[in-house]
Structure 1
């Protein structure tokens, strides 16, 4: 999955190493797992898009995650932040903005 969906570099390498150290043996409990609820494109060019992804949690809290995707090999790939940069990409927000694109609720 990482080979097809992540941009090569230190961030991808770090993610792959971290992922190899955990074992997922069952699906997440749907009642407590976060749900991706909306997104908002904040900057767009034909080869790059910056967006904010909104997730809601079982306690009704909401997070906003800054993401960047690059158009590579005829597909969008996620550019993870360099782990050395210590960039904070997730923050708590009080609400999803009205101009965000709302996704259908999970079934």
Structure 2
């Protein structure tokens, strides 16, 4: 299974996800629940979990994360075994609690709550 190592925003400011979903989670280092995308990068042939979603662009069906990266979607939401495996691994690594799926919220143009880092992970 191949996991994608994030390239700097300056090198790849926009990413296209296929077979994607969005989830609201409670991450220990944030003061409010965060939304994250998980999906498959067809061009790189690997799965990806985004940083926290900052803004949903309902007019373009794109999402911008707290890092400034833009995610666009290709096709309907979905999941595959590689995406599911990365999502499970990411949850364990970051000690998150999954609160709910927010895929429909994103498709409907709803916005996540603003979040702030409350302590550095260590």
Scaled by the length of structure 1, the TM-score of the pair is 0.29
Which of these two proteins has the greater Rg computed from alpha carbons?
1
Structure ranking higher on relative contact order (CA contacts 8 Å, 6+ apart)? 2
Scaled by the length of structure 2, the TM-score of the pair is 0.27
